[in-house]
Amino acid sequence: MLTIHDLDVDGCNEIFDRAKSLKELLYRGEVHESLRGKTLGMLFDKSSTRTRLSFEAGIHQLGGTGIFLSRRDIQLGRGETVADTARIMSRYIDGMMIRTFEQGLIEEFAKYATIPVINGLTDLLHPCQVLSDLFTIIEKKGGYEGLKIAYIGDGNNMTNSWINAAARLPFHLALACPEGYDPDESILERGIRESKEGIELLRIPADAASGADVIYTDVWVSMGQEDEQEEREAAFREYQVDEKLVGCAKDDAIIMHCLPAHRGEEIAASVIDGPKSVIIDQAENRLHVQKAIMEILMVGGNRR
């Protein structure tokens, strides 16, 4: 589970359907321990609240165990190779979730691992977040088919994963990014080529938000870009999701943000805390979708 682009429509829908069932089971208070005896390793090279907790609480609810690993504490941080780490970890645990900088590290780990590997965010992609967001959109809007999703802001890991989703699923994606902050060029080109409902890269936020069913934004300064705070604040000044921008969307549009958010930067406090915002349900759904992904990948065991 390194990128949404590796999934097809059925693969995505299987995750959404399973997440719905697992959420219902949890809400009914039923114990469902499909991953009893299984262990998920979780390597974090960057901070996390939602990803860590949703995977760790999620595997616990499914009867398994999560082990938090930081690079500082394992030999990878002292120069042990990714290949050795992946081969050895595969003998101990049943799945590995990695949050790191380079997409290449996850891909290399997956090349040598014989267990499922899950991308918990890289500089390039954040697939678990977008899958979970689509699940929220299905809950709130009854489906994603034919919707217009507007993404306003930085062409970052979130944007790239949204493009990959739009390449696979039939919704229209309108991006508004300032010049110099476009999404990954090859991901965008491929997305435009493969998308059924179209992907457009615009410069004016109101053009992207016009008639949208969903307005989505993310931080201007992602993890690892802290040195660029000032220049980014200047570049993105016209890209705040505020009441005026929300007024361009459909009356029943929902406002989404992967979080953490910076009120007064990428989104006005009145919008993120307003009636159209679904951010708390959106964050909750990380739990249900992470559980679905782990169950689909780890039930039955993949250890060779």
Q: Which of these is catalytic: 5, 50, 126, 288? A: 126
The answer to whether 258 is a known catalytic residue is: yes
Q: Do residues 197 and 169 make contact, with C-beta atoms less than 8 angstroms apart?
A: no
CB contact set of 75 (below 8 Å; sequence gap of 6+): 85
Span interacting with ligand NVA, options 136-144, 217-225, 240-248, 276-284, rule CB under 6 A: 217-225
Between 49 and 81, whose beta carbon lies closer to ligand CP?
49
Q: Which of these is catalytic: 218, 232, 240, 257? A: 218
Q: Nearest to residue 266, comparing CAs of 235, 241, 246?
A: 241
DSSP letter, residue 217 = E
Q: Nearest to residue 13, comparing CAs of 216, 169, 136, 191?
A: 169
Q: CB atoms < 10 A from the CB of 2, how many?
A: 18
Q: Binding to ligand CP by residue 229, rule CB under 6 A?
A: no
282 contact, one of ligand NVA, ligand CP, none, CB 5-8 Å limit per kind: none
Span interacting with ligand NVA, options 10-18, 199-207, 218-226, 262-270, rule CB under 6 A: 218-226
Binding mask 243-282 vs ligand NVA (x if CB under 6 A, - otherwise)?
---------------x------------------------
What are 99's strand-pairing partners?
44
Between 194 and 284, whose beta carbon lies closer to ligand NVA?
284
CA distance 20 to 7: 19
Residues at the contact surface with ligand CP, assessed by CB under 6 A: 48-51, 121, 129, 258-259
